[in-house]
Chains A and B, each alone.
Chain A
Amino acid sequence: MPLIQLQDVSKLYGFGDATTLALDEVNLTIDKGEFVAVMGPSGCGKSTLLNLIGLLDKPSHGQYRLNDKLVSRLNSNQAAKIRRDKIGFIFQFFNLLPKLSALENVALPLTYKGVTQTKRLKIASEMLDRVGVQDREYYLPGQLSGGQLQCVAIARALVNNPQIIIADEPTGNLDSGSSRLVMELLSEIHKMGNTIIFVTHNPELTRFATRVVYMHDGSIVHDESSTVGRVANRARKVLYTLPATKEEDDLAGVSLLMKALPIKSSISDRLSPKYLTKNNIKRRSKRKALGKQAK
């Protein structure tokens, strides 16, 4: 029995002329214990997909089954309870409450479960110990480093012992050292049986995943299982065979992955002056020169 089952799920934002299709009839099945990396360019619908799976959002069309239970049409309170008990969120910008200490932040989900304060803080303290920042219990988020913040956020996600951990670019705001720390923490959690779904732009991080899903324009364009410890095939292509993004690509929001994906160039692309690159002109002149020699 699959844990997560999306059937023809679409998500539309706005209405009328301003409608945008964030997800386009996505079908995705995730089993218990999978460690799924979701990759794709900015604006391709990764976050929307994660929000849907995490019950923060509802699909416009299609069905979403969690544990074989149809949850796409739950009311907000029922969804909140499932979020509380079964799903843990980790965000790129940590999303810790700045006025609560690390310990209180971790204990927050338990508050909504009705656990008493003493018990709450005890469990939270154990969680902080597990992620290795117990000595920072009484620090406010403003006093912690990025890596420590993300560890606290992971502790918060874990505190309710959820089945699913959803991480939206958990390392997007961290240096490479902290990124590794966070990913190793996640893979440890994965080994204990949790299902983890995370979004990343860094192909290196697919080493930790058992499965990589590539998205483009609201659809899943590629889905491959990957061996833990190795960079996924498609992601490796991005890493090693393509030139790095140029400055103008960054400005236009074009990612490496966008360049790696097989997209047919449109007619307008062919007609653009960019298409007639220096190389083509050189080649043509070479051919001419060869022809002259032959004569």
Chain B
Amino acid sequence: MIGVKLISSFRAGMQVVKSAKLRSLSLMLGIIIGVASVITVIAISTGIKAQISSQIRSYGPDIITIRPTSVGLGSGLVRGSDLANFSISNPMILKDIKTVSQATGVAEVAPLTLVSGPVKSSSGVYKPGFVVGTSSSLPNLINQSLAFGNFFTSSPANNGNVAVLGQTAAQDLFNENVPLGSSFTFHGQNFVVAGIFNSFNATPLSREANFNNAIFIPNSTAESLTNDTAPTYEIFARAKQVNQTSIVAKNIAAALDTEHGGVSNLSVSTGNQNIAQNNNILNLLTGLIAGVAAVSLLVAGIGIMNVMLVSVSERVREIGIRKAVGATNQQIRSQFMAEAAFISLIGGILGLALAFIIDMAIRASTYLTPIITWQSVVLATGVSLIIGIVFGTIPATRAASKDPIEALRTE
């Protein structure tokens, strides 16, 4: 019975849409734009969140990162060609690396120390590349495997002028996929390629500061090349026991504070903390933008109410006729509500379709991968339906309360 009524109300709604196509479309437009923008904003932010946390997770949630609190250029957004200007106002130094590795509960440590200077090979200077001094623990710490060769070990015999290359760096430097044993010049010294990494996950916002462009050399070599002046912009560490990660992070922070005389401007964070921090910021931003988009939905709802009111006063005679043949007030009300709900629901579905198209366009033209979740789909359809019902109530009630005789009398 209710089903029959629902279907017939839906049919009535469809009839209205058919009979007033332009009006219905202009009505829907507000809902379409509103739903599409809310879904797109949420999808972009979900996508970024997923990308960032997958990157952090690929390093492992138990990894502890130590960073200077102020960096001249955002470390994530550095271009290779900018490296000459790269400055860290308070870079970490060799002593910090030692302090971290000696803190209680630390199993292994890998610094990332930037060494500036041109990299020359037989095919010329490799500009986008950058040289990073690190320790033998790096592949293990960031869960990164090698495609070919071996990473340098901590034993001094295997720890001199050797280098491990990111995939792009290997390709660009030597024009071959597996340049194992090839050599390049850096700071006047010859380096031999010992291994090549598998491809690193791309950073979400930039392809430039990509480890695929990086050349890794042992940290000791890096320090000796620069007389211990190379800036270390990040230190990775891992606790001996995974469940001790946060305690060890505190130990590290305390040790660094002691070393810096109580005032350390280094931040120590764990993978989970990073994810949470990122998510917090993104959620805030998403909330703000989605809120603005939601206002457009509200405006669309008011538009629906307006047009429905006009429609009611245009169709007074129809209401009169329907009442004369036996429609109750509720039936008239639900008819008009169904019309409003139908229009806004269709608008919501079209908006959803538009959001999917925008999503594809974003994927095609940027590095972002927006994710439209089923929750946001349900939310969008639900919200558009509710908008129709809420803003259809007043016009529908007005239609239902028309006096049949007066309604029949109007032209």
- A-side residues, CB < 8 A to B, are 51, 54, 56-57, 76-77, 80-81, 83-85, 89, 91, 95-97, 99-100, 108-109, 111-114, 116-117, 156, 160
Contact = CB atoms under 8 A, between A and B. Distances in A.
Nearest to A159: B325
A128 B1 CA distance: 26
Contacts of A95: 317, 320-321, 324, 408
Contacts of B331: 80, 112
A89 B404 CA distance: 13
A109 B326 contact: yes
Contact of A56 (B5, B11, B322, B405): B405
B321 A112 contact: no
Contacts of A99: 15, 19
Given A97-B321, A99-B19, A116 B326 contact: no
Given A99-B15, A114-B5, A80 B328 contact: yes
A91 B407 CA distance: 14
Given A56-B405, A57-B405, A95-B408, A113 B326 contact: yes
B328 A114 contact: no
Interface in B363-411: 404-405, 408
Contacts of B11: 117
A117 B329 contact: no
A48 to B, nearest CB: 9
Contact of B328 (A51, A76, A116): A76
Contacts of B1: 114
B325 A76 contact: no
Contacts of B185: none
B4 interface: yes
B406 to A, nearest CB: 10
Interface of B is mostly: helix
Contacts of B322: 97, 108, 112
A81 B328 contact: yes
Contacts of A108: 321-322, 325
B335 to A, nearest CB: 10
A116 B330 CA distance: 19
A155 B317 CA distance: 20
A117 B8 contact: yes
B322 to A, nearest CB: 7
B408 A109 contact: no
A156 B322 CA distance: 12
A248 B15 CA distance: 47
Q: Which 8 residue pairs spanning A and B have beta carbons closest together? A: A84-B326, A80-B328, A109-B325, A77-B328, A83-B326, A95-B321, A112-B327, A112-B326
Contacts of B404: 56
Given A76-B328, A112-B328, 16 more contacts: A54-B324, A77-B328, A77-B330, A81-B326, A84-B325, A85-B326, A89-B324, A89-B325, A95-B317, A95-B320, A95-B321, A97-B322, A99-B19, A112-B327, A113-B326, A117-B11
B318 interface: yes
B401 to A, nearest CB: 9
Contact of B325 (A77, A112, A116): A112
Given A89-B324, A95-B321, A77 B8 contact: no
B404 to A, nearest CB: 5
Contacts of B328: 76-77, 80-81, 112
A109 B329 CA distance: 14
B203 to A, nearest CB: 58
B238 interface: no
A56 B329 contact: no
A89 B324 CA distance: 7
B323 interface: yes
Contacts of B320: 95
Which of B4, B321, B322 counts the most chain A CB atoms within 10 A? B321
Nearest to B411: A93
A291 B21 CA distance: 87
Nearest to A116: B4
A142 to B, nearest CB: 13
A283 B71 CA distance: 125
Nearest to A115: B4
Q: Which of B5, B7, B321, B326 gathers most chain A CB within 10 Å?
A: B326
Most buried by B among A81, A85, A95, A111: A111
A72 B102 CA distance: 96
A113 B326 CA distance: 8
B40 to A, nearest CB: 37
Contacts of B323: 56, 80, 83
A112 to B, nearest CB: 5
Nearest to B322: A108
Interface in B221-265: none
Contacts of B321: 95-97, 108
A228 B326 CA distance: 32
A80 B327 contact: yes
Nearest to A80: B328
22 contacts: A54-B324, A56-B323, A77-B330, A80-B323, A80-B327, A83-B324, A84-B325, A84-B327, A89-B324, A89-B325, A91-B408, A95-B321, A95-B324, A99-B15, A99-B19, A112-B322, A113-B326, A114-B1, A117-B7, A117-B8, A117-B11, A156-B325
